[in-house]
Structure 1
Amino acid sequence: MSQRATQKPDHELHYECVSFYNHEAELLDTKELEQWLELMTEDIRYDMPLRVTRDRGSDRSEFSDEGFNYREDWSTLDARIERFQSEFAWSEDPPTRTRHFVTNVRVKDVDGDELSVKNNLLLFLAQGEEADGTTISAERHDVLRRVDGELKLAERDIRLDHTVLPMKNISVFF
């Protein structure tokens, strides 16, 4: 097969992934959380391990295997969404305004119906009348799975660039 023939499907796949992430960001930014949850597989694993500062040269990961800001599955994501939309989500009154900027989408591996994809996230948050917002950056390690011809999120590992979250609570999704 020619070089051109092997590159074209990669470009199409990359475009499909970018389109998926653009749609996901729009759903999150417009607070359409039930529709966002529909982008997940039923066996979703949605994790944000704690970042741990290590000495240079350490062979240990900068991310904890035991401590997490998030460690979610379908049922816990669904429960959080239900709570955020209830009158008891005091941390979300007034609601947080978000803008998800997803960049540097890289398809790392294709294994049957599953794609390993890395992407960078810059998340801007503002709430109420505060003059300054909060900016959070991360790299996300995702597994996208094709289900009935559509891409769905099967795994997300959110690797923050921060060791301490610059926010009072985690009432948004990454």
Structure 2
Amino acid sequence: MSRSMVDLETRVALEDFYIHEAELLDDRRWEDWLDLFADDIEYTAPIRVMRKMPASDTVDELGHFDDTKASLTLRAKRLRTDVAWCEDPPSLTRRFITNVRVAEVHDSGEMLAKTNMLLYRSRSDMGAYDLIVGERQDLLRPGGADWLIARRRILIDQASMSTKNLGVFL
């Protein structure tokens, strides 16, 4: 991604947007979180692999998930039921979104943004926890009061994940 400067007001507004998104997820307000997405959202997390150079370290044809707005909505609704056993009891989570990088795209006002993500997830009373770290690559489209996320690609920085499930959103 080539970096282009955006004005300070846009940068601060974008950082606030991502902080708000993290808060919605940590507070389990999935319905409000879904409102941040465009109807044609592509929400993917390809598998990471360890290969010798110059081979790619991602397998885009295979992923942890490959969601649309409809499948994200179903996943969120399922978390409110008693059949979401991987999140019963619900995980305690805290998301940290940092290193916001922005490049403006097209005259339409769409932007490419990259952020670093750290997710702390606690699942029990025994002190065990998961740390999931990665980079999120978003295509943001002007919409509503802020932006709509039209595409999100999450590159998890683990080829072999130690978490037992990915029942939370990244």
TM over 0.5: yes
Larger deviation, residues 141-150 vs 113-122: 141-150
Q: Which residue in 2 is equivalent to 1:64? A: 59
Cα separation, 2, equivalents of 1:115 and 1:33: 24
Determine whether 1:21 maps to 2:14. no
Task: Measure how far apart 1:65 and its partner are.
Answer: 2.1
Cα separation, 1, equivalents of 2:68 and 2:44: 9
User: Normalized against structure 1, the TM-score is what?
Assistant: 0.91
Corresponding letter in the other structure for 1:158: I
- Which SS does the other structure have where 1:71 is aligned? strand
Q: After superposition, give the CA deviation of every residue in 1:96-145 in whole Å (9 maximum; x if it has no partner).
A: 01100000000023322211000000000001213131111101111111
Which residue of 96, 103, 109 corresponds with 2:98? 103
Which is higher, the Rg of structure 1 or of structure 2? Answer: 1
Q: Which residue in 1 is equivalent to 2:33? A: 36
Task: Measure how far apart 1:36 and its partner are.
Answer: 0.3
Task: Give the structure with the larger helix fraction.
Answer: 1
Gaps of 5+ in 2: none
Check the 8 A contact 2:87/2:167 in 1, yes or no. yes
Cα separation, 1, equivalents of 2:101 and 2:42: 20
Q: After superposition, give the CA deviation of every residue in 1:15-42 in whole Å (9 maximum; x if it has no partner).
A: 1110110000000000000000011000
Check the 8 A contact 1:139/1:160 in 2, yes or no. yes
Q: Which runs of 4+ in 1 moved over 3 A?
A: none
User: Normalized against structure 2, the TM-score is what?
Assistant: 0.93
Q: How does 1:62-101 map to 2 (within 5 A)?
A: 62-101=57-96
Q: Which residue in 1 is equivalent to 2:45? A: 48
Task: Measure how far apart 1:147 and its partner are.
Answer: 1.2
Corresponding letter in the other structure for 2:26: D
Q: After superposition, give the CA deviation of every residue in 1:59-91 in whole Å (9 maximum; x if it has no partner).
A: x32111211001000000001011111111111
Cα separation, 2, equivalents of 1:93 and 1:162: 25
Q: Which residue in 2 is equivalent to 1:126? A: 122
Check the 8 A contact 2:17/2:146 in 1, yes or no. no
- Which SS does the other structure have where 2:44 is aligned? strand
Q: Which residue in 1 is equivalent to 2:131? A: 135
Determine whether 1:12 maps to 2:9. yes
Cα separation, 2, equivalents of 1:61 and 1:10: 34
- Which SS does the other structure have where 1:172 is aligned? coil
Q: Which residue in 2 is equivalent to 1:4? A: none
- Which SS does the other structure have where 1:16 is aligned? helix
